[in-house]
Amino acid sequence: MSLAHFDFCEFLTTSSKVGRRAWPNVSSIRRSRKRLNLNSEVWLLALLDGRSLPSTELAQRAGITCQTASSHLAKLTEGGLLQVIPQGRHRYYRIANARVAELLESIARFAPRKETCRPEPKSLMEIARTCYNHLAGSLGVRITEAIVGQGLLREVGRDYQLTKKGAQWFSDLGIDINGLRESGRVFARQCLDWSERRNHLAGALGSALAQHLFELGWIEHVRESRAVRITEFGRRELKRLLGVACDN
């Protein structure tokens, strides 16, 4: 995934989907835009799995001084992309909210693809990854399509509608459907996957499903990455319950 072709400052101020009312201070991140855009790509992609990272680690990832990193991080925070969490002497940064994560994935969908004679093998990130707090990549898309195919979810506009059969299936899996409905979040949203160009499940239900699969030991995080690895147990269970064949 690359955001190198995009100007974060320009995109945020001109997007018809994200206006100034939603991003009131976005003009404050226009200065030093070339360096800011390069650092933004590194940091925002690193934080898309929902983690909070200290400014010192983010500076190391971008190969810049802590002072420069602090200045650029402040601009992204003022612009509404990041949230800062002070803890003692350290300042931790995270993606501001799920809407920002969805925005970043949306930007990536416009990245040009290389035309090659032979298809290149999928990277770990393309096979399975976390998108903020739900599953994306080939695995996320296949699970979603299997759930829809079995009549557990129904596509309605930009969202998914849970069927009666689906409510029972998710409950049997161990997911509290009523609690999710009362959370105040969008319940089940269609999210177009940047690597697959097909939808995966986002929203409160998508987040709960991903968390539950981690807890069950069906999937696990790849260290220092947003990539996700399917365990052998998870491979068997996904095949048994949904007929999903996994790539890795």
- How do residues 90-149 score in pLDDT, each as one tens digit? 889 988 887 787 777 666 666 555 554 455 666 788 889 888 789 999 999 999 999 999
CA 147 to chain centre: 20
Count of all residues that appear for the chain in the document = 248
Tell me the mean pLDDT in the region 234-241.
94
CATH of the domain at 21: 1.10.10.10
CB 223 within 8 A of CB 231: no
146 and 85, same domain (yes or no): no
pLDDT at residue 36 in the model: 53
- Token look-up 């976390």 returns 130
Rounded distance, CA 61 to CA 41, Å? Answer: 11
**Range with the largest mean pLDDT of 70-79, 133-142, 145-154:** 145-154
Residue with more model confidence, 29 or 35: 35
Q: Which amino acid is at 229?
A: R
39 and 79, same domain (yes or no): yes
pLDDT at residue 17 in the model: 42
Mean pLDDT of the chain: 80
pLDDT at residue 61 in the model: 84
142 and 232, same domain (yes or no): yes
Distances in whole angstroms, Cα of residue 215 to Cα of each of 140, 173, 206, 220: 16, 12, 14, 9
142 and 224, same domain (yes or no): yes
Domain boundary among 52, 80, 108: 108
- Per the domain annotation, does 165 fall within a domain? yes
CB 162 within 8 A of CB 152: yes
CB 135 within 8 A of CB 209: yes
Domain boundary among 49, 80, 108: 108
- Per the domain annotation, does 183 fall within a domain? yes
Is residue 176 over pLDDT 90?
Answer: yes
pLDDT at residue 38 in the model: 60
- The token duo for 166 is 């689906």
- Per the domain annotation, does 15 fall within a domain? yes
Is residue 11 over pLDDT 50?
Answer: no
142 and 89, same domain (yes or no): no
- Token look-up 């093998």 returns 121
Q: Which amino acid is at 11?
A: F
68 and 30, same domain (yes or no): yes
155 and 69, same domain (yes or no): no
Confidence at 29, pLDDT banded by 50, 70, 90: very low
Task: Output the CA torsion 204→199→105→56 (10° steps).
Answer: 60
Number of domains in the chain: 2
pLDDT at residue 210 in the model: 96
CB 81 within 8 A of CB 44: yes
183 and 219, same domain (yes or no): yes
**Boundaries of domain holding 58:** 8-108
232 and 143, same domain (yes or no): yes
CA 191 to chain centre: 10
pLDDT at residue 120 in the model: 62
Rounded distance, CA 141 to CA 190, Å? Answer: 10
- Per the domain annotation, does 120 fall within a domain? no
Is residue 80 over pLDDT 80?
Answer: yes
Residue with more model confidence, 201 or 33: 201
**With b meaning 16 or more CB within 10 Å and e meaning fewer, what string describes 237-246?**
bbeebbebeb
- Per the domain annotation, does 119 fall within a domain? no
pLDDT at residue 197 in the model: 82
DSSP, res 26:
G
pLDDT at residue 28 in the model: 46
pLDDT at residue 166 in the model: 97
Closest CA to 76 of 36, 46, 19: 36
- The token duo for 55 is 């400014």
169 and 214, same domain (yes or no): yes
In three-state secondary structure terms, 215 is helix
- Per the domain annotation, does 248 fall within a domain? no
Confidence at 248, pLDDT banded by 50, 70, 90: low
The enclosing H or E element of 54 equals strand 53-54
Rounded distance, CA 239 to CA 124, Å? Answer: 20
- Per the domain annotation, does 188 fall within a domain? yes
95 and 131, same domain (yes or no): no
- Per the domain annotation, does 114 fall within a domain? no
